[in-house]
Structure 1
């Protein structure tokens, strides 16, 4: 008959390990009331990952009652060398104890004793009562308790992994000693962690050898006279008293006066109702989601009569979903949707320009949710009419991707009312996901699982063949799309972001969809020719590098390069890493006067251009139209800037001629058409001048002066009519943009090549000359500290959870972010507004001109020759007036037969 199981957990040991396992994120794990939760998160993961699967018959978590115990009575300095417990951990202990109780585990502490003694006493009693005992701790001293029916599991990697120790493992680690003899080893060697001495000069190896030979400390001293006279014997004789005391301190008591019985330790399992409230208090969304997926949490926020909704999950029975699986032959049974519906399409590829629908769902709570794998049903005329009917409001997730997918099949999606992805992103740019299940859980809706939990991840990803599983997941997604918008819209209204969502971000998603669908033509022959030229250049550089080194080696290998430069050629290493010499760009740039290093830097630059931009672009040109179709992401950058991926067309190098040459391959898709670039001039500094209200900077822009020349005159104390040389202007430019990003005197000194003292003087002078900027920067940081966020001119909000971080570097970064976000984010708002107005103007004028790309502060168009003059006039005028500032916006346009020529 199997023995019952008893699980004993060292609470303090695991709490400290949990805290320090996530110490780097201590200021990120904070609930809405300011409670740090990093240890709670890790400890909870331990309970879920170890305790629940273990499912013991009885369980106990033992805690230290305080620092004063019978051991400190024997030795004042016992554990006296330990740092004070961080307040961020101390504040979590009451909640850790509550968490343990809610998981159905007995929690106990005993004055004057340590958790070790509670565990030792209970382990002995449990073994005697016929239990198999498992102890979980981070303290190897507990190994002395191992016995025939007692195992000790030592936590590793925080608390996420454990090392199992039985009698055989202890014997292996301690050269055949028994667990009971570990106390004698500790008595001889001492313990720096617990701060008891042992015998001075006796280390672990010697201690094990002596105890193995003599059996115990007492046995050793019974035969001390037999030892050969030497320094070791002298140490042992002089240290006898310390050895005996240290052994006593190391011995875990098995007779502590605990006040519970084994019957009290019966494991009852988690109190899910209590855990729901507890997790809500801690803002543990993932744990709430897990409970929901296990069926312990259900019932979601229902919209109230005012259109708002609650945001706390209820613990009642999950409401069944009215699914209507259909095939094309069932289309006659399609509900007559007249009001609003959710629409979700599942693809077989994350690239929605190429992916094929493998399942879809549309519907609502009233009429049910039509769900199917049948692509022909999706493309049928009745479904098409629903999707194209602008009077039927649509709730979707990522409107742009759905629009692009349906457009490929000749369906023009209309009536999109809510894009849950965009709404959630605007509510909090720090907390967004491209997975509807994860995003729903972030917004306290737990009736929909993540795709990873249903489909798997990586190589294991697969759409379920089981219709019940797949269709239920799609149906739950559709229901989430029906339930979430009211709550999210309420939050947007509260933040004054409704206009940002309805008049900017949502309509922009369709402008971006058109741009992605249009794509931009890439001349593959031009790229191939560039590739050949770069290959030849790289070959020549290789030969030059090999000649300088005296032999061939892998130029791309940092290790081999380090050996060549710093061992074979004898150059002085500037920086070392754990794996050898650093050959990073910043290191090599300090050595570029060395011929081989100059060649290596050039080799790296050209090989990156070839691999990333020549070969990379050739791989993504669509064979059907010779174009690349980038993906614009609206919900990634926290400043509101658009991101471009697959391929990233915003990152094509502009500082080197080789990088700029890549743009020669971007050409119009029609004969006799041109590429036109329309670019904002110094938009971020103009935004800074406006929001700071600085009169001097505003005066320079209003007079159409060169702002960097104006700054140079001010920071270098030059006359108004003094000529500004290029180097001065370069430094002034670095100062202007450095100030925007909260640059330090150290950073500025490195950027412009002056001493730190000079850099500080320049920054001080800058703020004297532009006092409004200094005042604004102080004010915006103070605003962030008080409110926890900053905003752009269009009320785009960015939360800054690290603004009160204790870590100086983390807090300083948050302060720099507080300064930069309103500037960079407002610039992003302006160009988005301009894109909307330009697209509408082109449509209203019936023009053929197409907007193709947005690259930071630049818009790229392809324009027929007969519309060039109109475009050069119309587009700058629209962009200039996108937002009214206290200084003028300035736009320049250029044309050419390629993107390169248009710059």
Structure 2
């Protein structure tokens, strides 16, 4: 039988490790959580791997310990706890309590001392201990019964030290490491040691003399220089040893047996994870709950917690629907709203459906026969049965596999959750069930699917209320909900790709890349791996002695920013920049596109993501057609492969002209911007005239280009540093441009100031259709993060309103296409542009329809304008 293990964790060490290993995370309310998340991730893994019988986590308490009374410079050089980490310690302790884990801390002592005391007590009880820490001081505690897991890189890499490993690493016994510290000191704790004696010399001396005390009695036997230093600093060496020695007799009123671990309080733990928005950890713990559920069940639920509020594995009662019941059920459902949950996916189709009409009316339909599939088809197609779904677009794809359309969509939880919290929406129904109903859904089977349907119905009522309270009903029902069906139809329609042309373009680009590589090698005077940062760094900075802009932990940085800064220093740099751009273009947008083309149809079916971006803009993936680098001619050329479904059809593009600047004019009520757009002036020329103080007819192309950068930079809260980098002027000159802008556009300055102040007051900003974005960064103690929050507050209402407007236009266009029974397809949306596949006989009507819907999507204080182009493919479109 495996001996029982006592797991003792250095809480401060792991918290600091997690904080620095994981980028800052925060909840939608602004609570910083990265240290708690990393700590929880590490702890769950260690508990699963080690399966301890007893667990304790030890923390420092207060800044002053008994060591400070002996040496007031002890740890004097240690940096203060980061502002973003300090408030996470109470959250950590709350989490540990919910995990059923004993927390130890005591005034005047460090976590190390509590750890040393607990493992010493464990040894007396013949209990094996495992210490988890990032502090090598703990290695002095290693013994036949105590091992140390030392954290290394990140939060997952641990190195185990037993007695033999300590001897292998230091050539000393664990107990002699404090003697080594007496000589070599410890800079991290500001322990002085003996000046001039390092670890290597210290190990040699302690190995020879056994202990610091024996060494100090025999300094005359040591090399005269080293011996003299040790004799001179003997008392300092003794002090250093005492400071480094972990106290093993802290007067604790607890022993290892009282740290027995019996498992999690699942109820409280899941509620804490839900509050902290740890969605992946919720899934991990839910799996454990479902395992417990297999052992203990009741008709109303399975109790898996031990607190007053009982968290249950939710199980809805349901009726199995078979062939003879289909007509009755169809009549029963007509005229009502139902919670609908489907089992299946877009590749394999539908395997089962679950319907929830009320708490006591839940139905399970296995789709194992033609009759069952016909019933689901009639159900889905009926707009007299309103459907409440969790992720309707996914359900539409599952049904599409069978040629079934979903009509009568009344609610989509994913979209509602996204509007309520765009930073961390509930992307899994389990998250929402836990957050709103405090229940856990069972895993797999008919009970699981019916429980999902019932929970969907209940959640729809709750989220509908929250949407109304946030004044987002018009946005939800008028824009986002109908857009679900529109995007599904766009995905299913797909866009045609000329595979032969794509292959030819890829081959040509490959030849250009090879030619560039050859030129780079000739300029370098040798062959090397251009894709190797190390080898490229050697060529640029050691062979050519170009100025070193930035270094990383592994050597010279050769990222895009560095290369741009070096572009004028050597011809090879511009060749490398072009090589990288073309190589990425080929691998990502040419070779990467090929596997996504359906051989039978020649179509690609991109996925439009409606609930991903924090601003409300759509994104797309597989393939991501929004990120084709069109600033590069070779990138723009890729658009040539996208063409209409039929060769006789026409590609029509409709692009909002300067929509974000028009929205800024509307929101800021800036008189100069309003006048420019109302009089249909070139806004960049007008801005150049204002900023440079010249007449409009005297504005040069260079001035206009710089003014354009200023115009768009203002929207994104650009700094003088960022503008200087973008337009390649000095920081002082860029700062002057920005100051001149705000002097002439004072309304914009006031708008930005008022928007930031309002965001601080409310905690969020809103768009033109009242979409919200919460801004916890505004309240961060970190100045850089606060500044980022201010830039986000400035930009989101503008960028988010642009998203609102084009979505509203898409809805209007789609309804018109359906109403007029037109064959034109809306196939793509890329930022402020819509792309249509138009039969030639409909082109005039579509041009008028699209322009009208887009330019009149909403009424602003300035006119909306749309630029339209048409042609045989997405690249060869000409302005009309």
TM-score by length of 1: 0.87
Aligned in 2, Cα 1:211/1:748: closer, same or farther, shift over 3 Å? same
Q: 1:782 to 1:850 in 2, by over 3 A?
A: same
The answer for the alignment partner of 1:730 in structure 2 is: 705
CA contact (8 A) 2:315 2:447 kept: no
Once residues 127 and 171 of structure 1 are traced to their aligned partners in structure 2, the CA distance between those partners, rounded to angstroms, is 21
By how many angstroms is 1:743 displaced? 0.8
Change (3 A) 1:318 1:654: closer
SS at match of 1:342: strand
Q: Does the 8 Å contact 1:849/1:863 carry over to 2?
A: yes
- Tell me what 1:308 maps to: none
Q: Does 1:403 align with 2:396?
A: yes
Q: Is 1:183 the counterpart of 2:157 in the alignment? A: no
CA contact (8 A) 1:677 1:861 kept: yes
2:215 matches 1:220 = yes
State whether structure 2 residue 22 is matched by structure 1 residue 29.
Answer: no
Distance in 2, matches of 1:341 and 1:372, equals 17
Counterpart of 2:779 in 1: which secondary structure? coil
1:710-761 CA-partner distances (Å, limit 9, x unpaired)? 11111111125x3322222111111111111111111112222322212111
SS at match of 2:123: helix
1:780 to 733, 751, 755: 755
Task: Give the Cα–Cα distance (whole angstroms) in 1 for the partners of residues 205 and 520 of structure 2.
Answer: 60
Partners in 2 of 1:554 and 1:145 — Cα distance? 48
Superposed CA offset, 1:294-333 (max 9, x none): 33999xxxxxxxxxxxxx9951543433356678799689
How far 1:395 moved relative to its partner?
Answer: 1.8
CA contact (8 A) 1:313 1:445 kept: no
Q: Distance in 1 between matches of 2:221 and 2:526?
A: 65
Q: How far off its partner does 1:512 sit?
A: 2.1
Find the counterpart in structure 1 of residue 719 from structure 2: 744
In structure 2, the partner of 1:463 is none
Question: How many equivalent residue pairs?
Answer: 860
For residue 373 of structure 1, report the CA deviation from its aligned partner.
Answer: 6.1
Contact 1:359 / 1:375 at 8 angstroms: preserved in 2?
no
How many Å apart are 1:414 and its aligned residue? 1.1
SS of aligned partner of 2:601: coil
Instruction: Pick one of 145, 148, 171 that aligns with 2:144.
Output: 148
Does 1:370 find its partner at 2:364?
yes
Q: 8 Å contact 1:515–1:853 — kept in the other structure? A: yes
Q: What is the rounded CA distance, in whole Å, between the counterparts of 2:240 and 2:673 in structure 1?
A: 72
Of stretches 553-562 and 634-643 in structure 1, the one that deviates more from structure 2 is 553-562
The residue aligned with 1:138 is: 134
Question: Structure 1's 427 and 874: CA in aligned 2 closer, same or farther, altered over 3 A?
Answer: same
Aligned residue for 2:784?
A: 809
For residues 391 and 16 of structure 2, the distance between their equivalents in structure 1, rounded to whole angstroms, comes to 42
Q: Match of 1:465? A: none
Task: Specify the alignment match of 1:305 in structure 2.
Answer: none
Please list, as runs of the form range in 1=range in 2, the aligned pairs for 1:16-165 lying within 5 A after superposition: 16-22=16-22, 24-25=23-24, 28-29=25-26, 32=29, 36-51=32-47, 54=50, 56-86=52-82, 88-94=84-90, 96-157=92-153, 160=156, 162-165=158-161
| Other-structure match for 2:481 | 506
Q: Deviations over 1:424-466 (max 9, x none)?
A: 11111101365443565566654237xxxx7xxxxxxxxxxxx
Matches of 2:121 and 2:744 in 1, distance apart? Answer: 78
Match of 2:625 among 607, 624, 649: 649
State the Cα distance separating 1:284 from its structure 2 match.
Answer: 5.9
Separation of aligned partners in 2, 1:434 and 1:283: 11
Structure 1 residues 187 and 373 mapped into 2: Cα distance closer, same or farther (>3 Å)?
farther
**Structure 1 contact 837–878 (Cα < 8 Å) conserved:** yes
Which deviates more from structure 2 when the two are superposed, residues 856-865 or residues 576-585? Answer: 576-585
Residue 361 in 1 paired to residue 335 in 2? no
Equivalent position of 1:431 in the other structure: 424
In 2: Cα distance, 1:482 partner to 1:888 partner: 42
**Equivalent residue, structure 1, for 2:661:** 685
Task: Specify the alignment match of 1:879 in structure 2.
Answer: 854
Q: Aligned partners of 1:516 and 1:122: how far apart in 2?
A: 61
| Paired residue secondary structure (2:440) | coil
Alignment equivalent of 1:718, drawn from 677, 680, 694: 694
Distance in 2 separating the partners of 1:893 and 1:99:
57
Does the residue aligned with 1:163 lie in a helix, a strand or coil? strand
Segment of structure 1 superposing worse, 860-869 or 682-691: 860-869
Query: How far does residue 901 in structure 1 lie from its aligned partner after superposition?
Result: 3.0
**Partner of residue 338, structure 2:** 341
1:294 aligned residue: 288
Structure 1's 521 and 133: CA in aligned 2 closer, same or farther, altered over 3 A? closer
Q: Structure 1 residues 756-765 or 287-296, which shifts more?
A: 287-296
Instruction: Identify the residue that residue 609 of structure 2 maps to in structure 1.
Output: 633
Deviation, structure 1 residue 391: 1.4
Distance in structure 2 (CA, Å) of the matches to 1:666 and 1:332: 46
Q: What CA deviation, in whole Å up to 9, does each residue of 1:322-362 have, x standing for no partner?
A: 356678799689675343333334445xxx4xx12263322
Within 1, Cα distance between the matches of 2:552 and 2:82? 31
1:414 equivalenced with 2:407 (yes/no): yes
Cα deviations across residues 71-93 of structure 1 (Å, max 9, x unaligned)? 33322222333233445444444
Give the secondary structure class of the aligned counterpart of 1:711.
helix
CA contact (8 A) 1:447 1:480 kept: no
**Residues 1:168 and 2:164 are matched in the alignment:** yes
Q: Give the Cα–Cα distance (whole angstroms) in 2 for the partners of residues 115 and 593 of structure 1.
A: 54
RMSD: 3.4
CA deviation after TM superposition for structure 1 residue 394, in Å: 1.1
1:235 maps onto 2:232 in alignment = no
Encode CA deviations 1:863-898: one digit per residue, 9 max, x unaligned: 333333333333212211100000011123232233
Structure 1 position 640, deviation (Å): 1.3
CA contact (8 A) 2:266 2:289 kept: no
- Equivalent in the alignment of 1:705: 681
Secondary structure, aligned partner of 1:760: helix
Distance between the aligned counterparts of 1:535 and 1:162, measured in 2? 44
Match of 2:817 among 842, 845, 850: 842
Residue 393 (str. 1) matches residue 386 (str. 2): yes
Q: Is residue 708–residue 733 contact of structure 1 (8 Å, CA) maintained in 2?
A: yes
> Which secondary structure state, in structure 1, belongs to the residue aligned with residue 698 of structure 2?
coil
SS at match of 1:295: helix
Question: Residue deviations 1:678-698, cap 9 Å, x none?
Answer: 221111111110011111110
Structure 1 residues 646, 190: CA separation in 2 closer, same or farther (over 3 Å shift)?
closer
C-alpha distance in 1 between matches for 2:109 and 2:552: 46
Change in Cα spacing, 1:265 to 1:657, as seen in structure 2 (3 Å) is closer
| 1:462 counterpart residue number | none
Task: Judge conservation of contact 2:341–2:355 (CA < 8 Å) in 1.
Answer: no
C-alpha distance in 1 between matches for 2:117 and 2:339: 60
Q: Is the contact between residue 60 and residue 105 of structure 1 (CA under 8 Å) also seen in structure 2? A: yes
Instruction: Single out whichever of 180-189 and 318-327 deviates more from structure 2.
Output: 318-327
Contact map agreement 2:314 2:451 (CA 8 A) in 1: no
Question: How many Å apart are 1:47 and its aligned residue?
Answer: 4.6
Q: 1:377 to 1:782 in 2, by over 3 A?
A: farther
List alignment gaps of at least 5 residues for structure 2: 294-306
SS at match of 2:112: helix
The answer as to whether partners of 1:357 and 1:375 remain within 8 angstroms in 2 is: no
1:844-883 alignment runs, 5 A limit: 844-883=819-858
Aligned to 1:205: 200
Q: Quick check: 1:677–1:858 contact (8 Å CA) kept in 2? A: yes
Question: 1:889 is matched with which residue: 855, 861, 864?
Answer: 864
* Native 8 Å contact 2:321 2:363 kept in 1: no
Distance 1:544 1:161, change over 3 A: closer
Q: If the length of structure 2 is used for normalisation, what is the TM-score?
A: 0.89
Shift of 1:269: 4.4
Distance 1:529 1:80 in 2: 66
8 Å CA contact 1:102, 1:274 repeated in 2? yes
- Going from structure 1 to structure 2, the CA distance change for 1:328 and 1:259 (only over 3 Å counts) comes to same
